[in-house]
Chain A
Amino acid sequence: MINGNHFSLILLSTNQCNAACDYCFEDKTRDRLSLDRLRIIAGKVLDHMEEHRIGALTIHWQGGEAMLLPPRWYRQAFAWIRDAAAARGKRVEHGLQTNMLAYSPEWDVLIAEMFGNSLSTSLDYPNLHRRAPGRAPGHYDALWARKVRMARAAGIDVKVISVLNQGTLEVGAERFYAYFVDELGVTDFQINTPFPGGAVNAVKQNLSLDVSELARFHRELADIWLERGPYDDVRIGPFDQLMNYFMDRDACLPCIWGRNCAEELIAIDARGNVAQCDCWVTSYPDYHFGNIFECDSLSELLRNSPARRQFFERPIKLMQGDCIQCDYLALCHGGCPVRTYSVHQTLVEKDPYCHLYKSLFRHMERRATQLVAPSLQRSSRVGS
């Protein structure tokens, strides 16, 4: 939360990447953060937290490719941020999103100390679009799998994000689950929908999937997970959190379904540009909130940004449309701004995956209801 009790910052330590994925939404450059510039960013973030009496900060490190800066850089960054935050009585946690292509055992101690021995990486199945420059996707897969095995051997918990594509729908949910769980041994992964963010290219123009087919895939994968997940000790996002939601447990739904992502996070890239999230910060300069190196105060920058105001107002404006009639308004609030913008070139439309979301919500609600005791189905008022 920006103005609540917690601040989430997506920090691009570099805008450079060692991959050349066809569908990447980022406009990559060779910029890397120096430690001096990092101190400026961290100092202004801590000032902002102080001004808003925010006690805790989570920094989600990513790029470009975050591992293009060496472990020793992160070690110094970690120590400086830790000490600066402690001096102001703030708590800081760190997360790492990486493609792992540059991973080596040299990272292990840092990952244990700074990232709680856990990281998040990405792989699609089948992989159609992720590749190293000039190489085929198969090369990426093999290299990625080798690095993941190495990391696991070192005891690192590896989480995976997978973006669905036409090939995924063709192989089907059963094969998809078997590939990740049985072949790769992945036990914690999240499926994401594609969107044509950033500069247009031929691949992005053909990213769109039949939403009905996509919804069917989601439902089938959810059912497979519900059947086997408990035995395989597997978690698949967003199914696990939706089940939590519909079973009245604490649930942490993905940011695309937040009440307003403008309240929840910002991103800063290696050039100091500040934007809503990593999907916006390198690719859509018209939607930059400002530049942290060019302002005296992050709080002022955020308060006075016309672009940020548009994000804040998006759900308010969407309420003039049919979202207010939706049974699942509480879970979605109109969905993801960048998925919307990349398709409709405006923020003031609902998420193009609306039909998918509703289908999935309905399905998970039904499955959750089947799992709870019949005697509790009639009313959910107990203990309110």
Chain B
Amino acid sequence: MSSIVYQIPLAQLAAFRGRALIVRSGHPHDLVAQLRASDLDNLAYVQLCGLPSGTDVLMHWAKGLPIDLLLDNPAQDFPSLYGYATLLDNHPVRITLPVETGFEKAVKLASSLQFAVRLQMGQPQASLIGSLARLLDDYLHKFTVGQPIECFHGLLLGFCNREPLNLWAIQEEDPALLRYVDERGTVRLPGRLAVSEYDPAPESFVADWSRRLSAEGTECADCPFFASCRGYFKWPHRDYDCAGVKALLTTLQQAAGELREDLAAAAPVSGASP
């Protein structure tokens, strides 16, 4: 089987059955009705779109199957997360939301309800870097944040373990790993790339893009995070000022270093009392 995961609408299930899939739908009942038990083996997760009602039907269906809830308008819709919290009893549930004005309230509530979070980072506006920095601090230090916030989590673990990182992959936007299938069944590049006119071979998109940035002598050329970022923050606007995101990455890298030192220094830690 190909390692590529196809993010499909439920209506395209028949055409893509047998491949590795993410299935999206705004109708939980339809997911339950149409996904067969044999489909679950190839399913990375289901994505709920449009803040659907009727999610009770998912409670005892495919227990343990990850669910991703798309929160398109986080500033306005974040209180509705309460209505999905019972899904956590039987599923890992992640909230995916764009980094836009007001998004931090949604992240705060999602974390408080024990949802994992994926931030659709894109090229965050300078005015949002402060919010991102506060969330990063919460993620790193607050007891009340107990679930991953991506891309912070993937980057921290990568930095901590000194593993090669691919931010495009962490963000589920690497075309070598993921393809987006639209309602008509057309296979497109994932995430922000779906509407792109830039058309390299999908498998080599990240390598081609980062090579191109290096060759053009952008600030990526001497960026200490380029090996991890691979030009993620330069898409689509190559003139995007990375100063803010570099500060975030610096914080993460420092935290990873501290964590690594702590782990090395800590003998097996016994629980303190009481």
Contact surface of A with B, Cβ cutoff 8 Å = 1, 3-5, 52-53, 225-226, 229-230, 240, 243, 245-249, 259-260, 263, 312, 315-317, 319-320, 324, 327-331, 333, 365, 368, 371-373, 375-376, 378-382, 384
Closest CB in chain B relative to A5 CB, distance in Å: 6
Q: Is B112 a contact of A330 with CB atoms below 8 Å?
A: yes
Known contacts being A226-B274, A378-B258, is A319 close to B109, with CB within 8 Å?
yes
| Complexed CA–CA distance, A319 and B76 (Å) | 11
Known: A53-B59, A328-B144. A230 touches B78 (CB 8 A): no
Q: A1-B86, A3-B56 are in contact. Are A327 and B141 (CB under 8 A)?
A: no
Cβ-defined contact, B141 with A384, below 8 A: no
Q: Are the C-beta atoms of A52 and B143 separated by less than 8 Å?
A: no
- Whether A259 lies near B85 (C-beta < 8 A) is yes
- B89 and A379: CB pair below 8 A? no
Which 7 residue pairs spanning A and B have beta carbons closest together? Answer: A4-B89, A330-B112, A330-B144, A319-B79, A371-B272, A53-B60, A316-B79
CA distance A330 to B86 in the complex (A): 15
Interface size on B, residues (CB 8 A): 45
At the interface, yes or no: B38 with Cβ under 8 Å from chain A? no
Per DSSP, chain B at the interface is helix
Interface residues in chain B, defined as those with a beta carbon under 8 Å from any beta carbon in chain A: 56, 59-60, 78-80, 82-83, 85-86, 89-90, 105, 108-109, 111-114, 139-148, 153, 156-157, 160, 255, 258-259, 262-263, 265-266, 269, 271-274
**Chain B residues near A320 (CB, 8 Å)?**
79
Contact between A329 and B108 (Cβ–Cβ < 8 Å)? yes
Does B112 contact A316, Cβ atoms closer than 8 Å? no
CB distance from A181 to the nearest CB of B (A): 14
> B59 contacts A4, CB within 8 Å?
yes
A365 and B112 in contact (CB under 8 A), knowing A229-B274, A240-B274? no
Contact, CB under 8 Å: A259 / B82: yes
CB atoms of B262 and A378 under 8 A apart? yes
Is A380 in contact with B141, judged by CB distance below 8 angstroms? yes
28 A-B pairs in the complex with CB atoms less than 8 angstroms apart:
A1-B86, A1-B89, A4-B86, A5-B89, A229-B274, A240-B274, A259-B113, A260-B82, A315-B82, A319-B78, A319-B79, A319-B105, A324-B108, A324-B109, A327-B142, A328-B144, A330-B111, A330-B145, A365-B143, A368-B143, A373-B272, A378-B141, A379-B255, A379-B262, A380-B140, A381-B156, A382-B262, A384-B146
Q: CB-nearest residue of chain B relative to A332?
A: B112
Q: Is the CB of A3 within 8 A of B105?
A: no
Nearest Cβ in chain A — how far from B138, in angstroms? 9
Establish whether residues B109 and A329, one from each chain, have CB atoms under 8 Å apart when the complex forms: yes
Give chain A residues whose Cβ lies under 8 Å from the Cβ of B83.
312, 316
Please state if A379 and B86 are interface contacts (CB–CB under 8 Å).
no
Contacts of B113 in A (CB 8 A): 259, 330
Contact at B112–A373, with CB atoms within 8 Å? Answer: no
Give the docked Cα–Cα distance between A366 and B80 (Å).
32
CB pair A263–B79 under 8 Å, yes or no, is no
Q: Taking A316-B80, A329-B112, A376-B266 as contacts, is the C-beta distance between A243 and B274 under 8 angstroms? A: yes
Alpha-carbon gap, A3 to B144, bound state (A): 25
